[in-house]
């Protein structure tokens, strides 16, 4: 082989997606499959008839607005982190978490609206599906909130900044995904309920 | 060659020391280990445990089928109240036995035990990585599987028994506790166990895909990946896409069982009284279930096919025939597996037009399957075959894949499937093509990679006896079953003795039972050989099968981090066996073309210039395997 001196400037390995980020995308794919299967089941069931007609809770408009704003704020926080504006980052992370909690509260109220309209969880599958879709989404949103809290903690410990963006990027990706998932579910329900 | 390793490994000693030598206690080394090799062994040993449980369950129900008049009083110490006062097997427990046999074998043995073991063990070793992308998630994957196993095992000790609605758990049978004893607590535990199992598979699958895509060593392009890795990769992709759907199906079933919803239930009368559930559809469950259920059979099958490709090529001392066609057929099978699920549902009253679409798609699977079979045969053709136990089991897999696959062409036709549906013909078909073939893939893999796992060789003679008893046994069990099925015997029936039509087949059923028991006993040879060889086997040479893949460049007992020193660079595909002009009949992947001038083809000589560049790529290990 002879001498083989390695220079510091040697080219880096070309495959550069961070493994954890890649794993997050795969995790997102598996969540997509859950909701794809449930919404397909919804359509199949609807096609078979004996389907309850009802209106969607008006609260959904409010929660949709909440989650959209939260995504915008988090994206702003991402830019703040890139510029090392730590104070701003912390504030925006807290704001996102608060909006996330507000979203959950709003979903709870929309369930109450459904009950007032006499659409129950245990009843015609048409109504049950709405509970399952929103409930399962809310469950994933809770995991998103946990991720946000973890990110906030590392931000408070100054572990996030322009040089260390992996966790922040993953958190932003996941939160945007959860927002997009809700928009998809909402539009789906508007068209198919 | 050894010199080459020594030279290339000189550079990164410091790196290795920084990486590999954490202080390890017994608990972190053997129990909560994050080392992919230990996790693989945990999966393997748990899988073997479950395989024996599953096998014993089948022996018990085979006794009932083969000897319907036999007194099973002697099983009372084991089964207790499940033996009735008359000394017979309790009919409801019979249903629990077939249900649990199916669940255990499909999920716990051939999914977790097979791809859990070999994906964990082979992926980092064969692609040249220190460990999985996330050792922690990998550890969690095993422990979720373990928790799932514990829950499933607990269900055997319930007074009402384990789940009994068949491994497919169709509602309303599985949704209503009034339907069956097994649909009470047993079914609840089944659902909990499966939910944990799905989490385990997803954690594992996500890790496998990430590792294969992101952590390959220098030069390990996709076109140089061993076929084992291709197969395990696609298995993981199928799993990540299909297991969430099973989760959806199970979730809705849980709501129906415990929260009073009616996703799958409608118009049900029990004892003349209508249940309140309205508006659901049992067929919906079948769609959701089989959207996982069909890909699942490929999750079970693909790892076996990959392992076989590797072993057949190595032991035929010939390059695999049609490497790219093998990858293409794996891809074809993986894609098709998602669009054929309704061939399990031809008798549900589906639209015949829809049925014919699913029929055509199903029959198309014969094409990639045949490509694989022909390539295996062409690889062995005029090869310098070494009949190691691993090779024999691989050839056995090919044999089962052919004989079981042929009946798949029959069953894929809706018109033939309708009379044969739910008969023993179906049982014979999938036990040959899926169950036995995958099982042989798993055994082949164990025999082949045992020296790498434990640093010792398994006993060959016992391996041969094990192979022949199992191979002949499997055919004696499942071949007659086709005739029983064509005669119209429905599966999952406790007894037929009240039907005169079926009396003439009693002898055949007895024959099958005897064969099944002999096959079962033969497995204890393997069990003995496996555990004996771990401690007392002959110490293995570093590359006992003279194989090309990277795992054989590691030390006999690789530590955490796999290679002491730098990870080898890969310069060639893994199937350079018996290359004309070469000194030996194999050239491992890490040997550069510049060292094999005598055997290079013209275009390979052109690659030598590029090798220098590849060597200079530095793997940034700071972000890997921590």
Smallest CA–CA separation between B480 and chain A, in Å?
39
CB B388 within 8 A of CB B447: yes
Q: Which of B216, B221, B238, B279 to mutate to test the interface with A (most CBs of A within 10 A)?
A: B279
- Quick check: B244 and A124 CB within 8 A? no
Closest by Cβ to B262, choosing from A17, A18, A125:
A125
* pLDDT (tens digit per residue) in B86-124: 989 999 999 999 999 999 999 999 999 999 999 999 999
Q: Is residue B81 part of a domain?
A: yes
DSSP bridge pairs for A164: A161
- Quick check: A17 and B213 CB within 8 A? yes
Query: What separation in angstroms does the CA of B354 have from each of B348, B351, B407, B410, B419?
Result: 12, 5, 22, 18, 19
- Asked if residue B20 has pLDDT above 60, the reply is no
**Confidence at residue B620, expressed as pLDDT on a 0 to 100 scale:** 60
Give the SS3 label for residue B51.
helix
Closest by Cβ to A124, choosing from B211, B251, B279:
B279
- State the average pLDDT over residues B420-440: 96
Contacts of B288 in chain A (CB under 8 A): 37, 41
Q: Is residue B604 part of a domain?
A: no
**Confidence at residue B622, expressed as pLDDT on a 0 to 100 scale:** 52
Smallest CA–CA separation between B336 and chain A, in Å?
17
* pLDDT (tens digit per residue) in B508-548: 999 999 999 999 999 999 999 999 999 999 999 999 999 99
Residues in chain B, overall count: 626
Q: Is residue B480 part of a domain?
A: yes
Per-residue pLDDT of chain A (193 residues; tens, 9 = 90+): 334 444 433 334 545 678 889 999 999 999 999 999 999 999 988 888 778 888 899 999 999 999 999 999 999 999 999 999 999 999 999 999 999 999 999 999 999 999 999 899 988 899 999 999 999 999 999 999 999 999 999 999 988 988 889 999 999 999 999 999 999 999 999 998 7
- Asked if residue B17 has pLDDT above 50, the reply is no
Q: Is residue B544 part of a domain?
A: no
* pLDDT (tens digit per residue) in B455-494: 999 999 999 999 999 999 999 999 999 999 999 899 999 8
Which two tokens mark B436?
Answer: 């036995």
Closest by Cβ to B623, choosing from A18, A126, A136:
A18
**Confidence at residue B278, expressed as pLDDT on a 0 to 100 scale:** 84
Average pLDDT score over chain B: 91
- Asked if residue B23 has pLDDT above 80, the reply is no
Backbone angles phi, psi at A12, to 5 degrees: -80, 160
DSSP bridge pairs for B117: none
**Confidence at residue B11, expressed as pLDDT on a 0 to 100 scale:** 35
Q: Is the dihedral of CA B15, B16, B19, B23 positive or negative?
A: negative
Long-range contacts of B15-23 (CB under 8 A, 24+ apart): B15/B566, B15/B621, B16/B561, B16/B563, B16/B564, B16/B565, B16/B566, B19/B130, B19/B561, B19/B621, B19/B625, B20/B559, B20/B560, B20/B561, B20/B564, B21/B559, B22/B560
Contacts of B219 in chain A (CB under 8 A): none
CB B174 within 8 A of CB B75: no
- State the average pLDDT over residues B555-577: 92
- State the average pLDDT over residues B317-332: 96
Q: Where in the sequence is the domain holding B372, given as residue range(s)?
A: 8-13+35-266+276-536
Smallest CA–CA separation between A165 and chain B, in Å?
13
Interface of B with A in 222-281 (CB under 8 A): 240-245, 247-249, 251-252, 255, 259-263, 266, 278-281
* Domains, chain A, with CATH or none: 54-192 (1.20.120.80)
Cβ of residue B620 closer than 8 Å to a chain A Cβ: yes
- State the average pLDDT over residues B313-340: 96
- Asked if residue B16 has pLDDT above 80, the reply is no
Out of A130-139, B10-19, B210-219, pick the least confident: B10-19
**Confidence at residue A1, expressed as pLDDT on a 0 to 100 scale:** 37
0.95 surpassed by pTM: no
Q: Which of these, B95, B226, B117, B65, lies nearest to B167 by C-alpha position? A: B95
CB B569 within 8 A of CB B219: yes
CB B469 within 8 A of CB B333: no
Give me the percent of chain B exceeding a pLDDT of 90: 80
- State the average pLDDT over residues B154-162: 94
pLDDT band at B2 (very low <50, low <70, confident <90, very high): very low
- State the average pLDDT over residues B290-298: 93
- Asked if residue B143 has pLDDT above 80, the reply is yes
Q: Is residue B517 part of a domain?
A: yes
* Angular region, B545: left φ>0, alpha ψ -120 to 50, beta rest: alpha
Nearest residue of chain B to residue A52 (CA atoms): B279
Cβ of residue B567 closer than 8 Å to a chain A Cβ: no
**Confidence at residue A2, expressed as pLDDT on a 0 to 100 scale:** 39
CA angle B229–B230–B234, rounded 5-degree value? 115
Contacts of A30 in chain B (CB under 8 A): 202, 206, 240-241, 243-244
Smallest CA–CA separation between B328 and chain A, in Å?
23
- Quick check: A38 and B248 CB within 8 A? yes
Residue B239 belongs to a domain with what CATH number? 1.20.210.10
Q: Which of B261, B275, B284, B565 to mutate to test the interface with A (most CBs of A within 10 A)?
A: B261
- Quick check: B617 and A11 CB within 8 A? yes
**Confidence at residue A12, expressed as pLDDT on a 0 to 100 scale:** 41
- Quick check: B279 and A125 CB within 8 A? yes
Number of domains in chain B: 1
**Confidence at residue B621, expressed as pLDDT on a 0 to 100 scale:** 59
Q: HSE on the CB side for B227, CA within 13 Å?
A: 29
- Asked if residue B10 has pLDDT above 70, the reply is no
**Confidence at residue A169, expressed as pLDDT on a 0 to 100 scale:** 94
Closest by Cβ to B215, choosing from A19, A48, A122:
A19
Contacts of B616 in chain A (CB under 8 A): 6, 10-11
Helix (H) / strand (E) element for B269: namely strand B269-270
Cβ of residue B594 closer than 8 Å to a chain A Cβ: no
- State the average pLDDT over residues B278-285: 89
**Confidence at residue B164, expressed as pLDDT on a 0 to 100 scale:** 94
Q: Give the integer Cα–Cα distance in Å for B364 and B165.
A: 32
Contacts of B249 in chain A (CB under 8 A): 37
**Confidence at residue B19, expressed as pLDDT on a 0 to 100 scale:** 44
Q: Give the integer Cα–Cα distance in Å for B31 and B42.
A: 8
Question: What is the complex's ipTM, to 2 decimals?
Answer: 0.89
**Confidence at residue B274, expressed as pLDDT on a 0 to 100 scale:** 86
Q: Is residue B71 part of a domain?
A: yes
Which two tokens mark A121?
Answer: 């969880």
Q: Which of A21, A128, A181 to mutate to test the interface with B (most CBs of B within 10 A)?
A: A128
- Asked if residue B15 has pLDDT above 50, the reply is no
Helices marked H in chain A: 19-47, 59-82, 86-116, 125-156, 166-192
Burial class from Cβ neighbours inside 10 Å (0-12, 13-18, 19+) for residue B52 reads: middle
Q: Is residue B596 part of a domain?
A: no
Q: Give the integer Cα–Cα distance in Å for B605 and B254.
A: 62
Q: Which of these, B592, B587, B387, lies nearest to B471 by C-alpha position? A: B387
Out of A43-52, A105-114, B495-504, B590-599, pick the least confident: B495-504
pLDDT band at B5 (very low <50, low <70, confident <90, very high): very low
Sequence-separated (6 or more) residues with CB below 8 Å from residue B607: B571, B593
Residues of A with CB under 8 A from a CB of B: 1, 4, 6, 10-13, 15, 17-20, 22-23, 26-27, 29-31, 33-34, 37-38, 41, 44-45, 48, 50-52, 121-126, 128-129, 132, 136
């Amino acid at each position: 082989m002879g001498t083989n001196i390695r220079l510091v400037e040697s080219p880096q390995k070309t495959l550069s997606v961070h493994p954890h980020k890649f794993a997050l995308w795969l995790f997102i794919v598996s969540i997509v499959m859950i909701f794809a299967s449930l919404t397909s089941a919804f359509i199949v069931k609807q096609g078979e008839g004996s389907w309850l007609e009802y209106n969607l809770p008006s609260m959904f408009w409010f929660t949709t607005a909440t989650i959209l704003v939260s995504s915008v704020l988090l994206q702003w926080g991402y830019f703040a982190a890139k510029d090392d504006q730590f104070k701003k980052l912390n504030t925006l992370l807290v704001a996102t978490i608060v909006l996330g909690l507000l979203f959950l509260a709003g979903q709870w109220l929309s369930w109450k609206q459904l009950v007032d309209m006499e659409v129950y969880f245990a009843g015609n599958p048409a109504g049950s599906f709405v509970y399952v879709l929103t409930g399962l989404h809310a469950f994933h949103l809770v995991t998103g909130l946990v991720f946000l809290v973890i990110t906030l903690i590392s931000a408070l410990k100054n572990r996030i900044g322009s040089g260390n963006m992996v966790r922040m990027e993953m958190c932003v990706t996941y939160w945007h995904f959860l927002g997009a998932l809700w928009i998809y579910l909402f539009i789906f329900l508007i068209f198919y309920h | 060659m050894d010199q080459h390793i020594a030279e290339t490994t000189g550079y990164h000693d410091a790196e290795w020391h920084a990486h590999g030598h954490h202080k390890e206690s017994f608990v972190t080394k053997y129990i909560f280990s994050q080392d992919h090799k230990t996790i693989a062994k945990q999966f393997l040993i748990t899988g073997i445990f479950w395989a024996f449980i599953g096998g014993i369950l089948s022996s018990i129900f085979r006794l009932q089928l083969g000897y319907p008049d036999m007194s099973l009083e002697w099983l009372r110490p084991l089964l207790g109240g499940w033996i009735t006062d008359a000394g017979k097997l309790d009919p409801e427990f019979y249903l629990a036995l077939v249900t649990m046999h199916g669940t255990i074998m499909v999920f716990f043995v051939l999914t977790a035990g097979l791809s859990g073991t070999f994906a964990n063990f082979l992926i980092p070793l064969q692609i040249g990585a220190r460990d999985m992308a996330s050792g922690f998630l990998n550890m969690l994957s095993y422990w979720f599987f373990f928790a799932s196993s514990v829950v499933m095992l607990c269900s055997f000790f319930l007074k009402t028994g384990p789940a009994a609605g068949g491994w497919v758990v169709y509602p309303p049978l599985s949704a209503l506790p009034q339907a069956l004893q097994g649909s009470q607590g047993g079914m609840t535990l089944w659902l909990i166990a499966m939910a944990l199992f799905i989490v385990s598979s997803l954690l594992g699958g996500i890790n496998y895909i990430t590792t294969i895509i992101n952590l390959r060593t220098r030069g390990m392009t996709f076109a140089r990946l061993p076929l084992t890795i291709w197969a395990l990769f696609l298995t993981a992709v199928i799993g990540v896409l299909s297991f969430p759907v099973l989760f959806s199906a199970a979730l809705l079933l849980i709501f129906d069982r415990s929260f009073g919803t009616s996703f799958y239930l409608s118009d049900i009368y029990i004892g003349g009284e209508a249940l309140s559930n309205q508006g659901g559809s049992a067929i919906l469950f079948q769609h959701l279930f089989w959207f996982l259920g069909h890909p699942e059979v490929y999750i079970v099958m693909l790892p076996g096919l990959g392992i076989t490709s590797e072993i057949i090529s190595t032991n035929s001392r010939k390059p695999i025939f049609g490497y790219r066609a093998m990858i293409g057929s794996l891809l074809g099978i993986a894609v098709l597996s998602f669009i054929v699920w309704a061939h399990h549902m031809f008798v549900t009253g589906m639209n015949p037009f829809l049925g014919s679409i699913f029929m055509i798609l199903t029959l198309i699977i014969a094409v990639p399957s045949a490509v694989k079979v022909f390539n295996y045969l062409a690889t062995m053709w005029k090869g310098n075959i070494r009949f190691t136990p691993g090779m024999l089991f691989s050839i056995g897999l090919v044999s089962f894949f052919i004989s079981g696959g042929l009946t798949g062409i029959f069953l894929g036709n809706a018109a033939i499937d309708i009379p044969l549906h739910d008969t023993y013909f179906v049982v014979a078909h999938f036990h040959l093509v899926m169950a036995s073939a995958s099982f042989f893939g798993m055994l082949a893999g164990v025999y082949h990679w045992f020296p790498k796992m434990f640093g010792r060789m398994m006993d060959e003679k016992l391996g041969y006896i094990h192979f022949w008893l199992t191979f002949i046994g499997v055919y004696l069990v499942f071949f007659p079953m086709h005739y029983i099925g064509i005669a119209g015997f429905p599966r999952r029936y406790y007894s037929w003795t009240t039907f005169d039509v079926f009396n003439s087949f009693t002898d055949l059923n007895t024959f099958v039972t005897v064969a099944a028991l002999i096959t079962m006993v033969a497995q204890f040879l393997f069990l003995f050989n496996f555990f004996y060889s771990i401690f007392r086997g002959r110490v293995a040479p570093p590359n006992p099968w003279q194989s090309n893949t990277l795992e054989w460049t590691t030390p006999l007992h690789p530590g955490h981090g796999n290679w002491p020193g730098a990870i080898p660079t890969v310069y060639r595909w893994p199937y350079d066996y018996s290359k004309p002009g070469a000194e030996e009949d194999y050239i491992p992947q890490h040997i550069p073309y510049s060292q094999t001038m005598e055997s290079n083809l013209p275009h390979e000589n052109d690659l030598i210039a590029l090798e220098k560049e590849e060597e200079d790529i530095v793997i940034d290990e700071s972000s890997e395997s921590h």
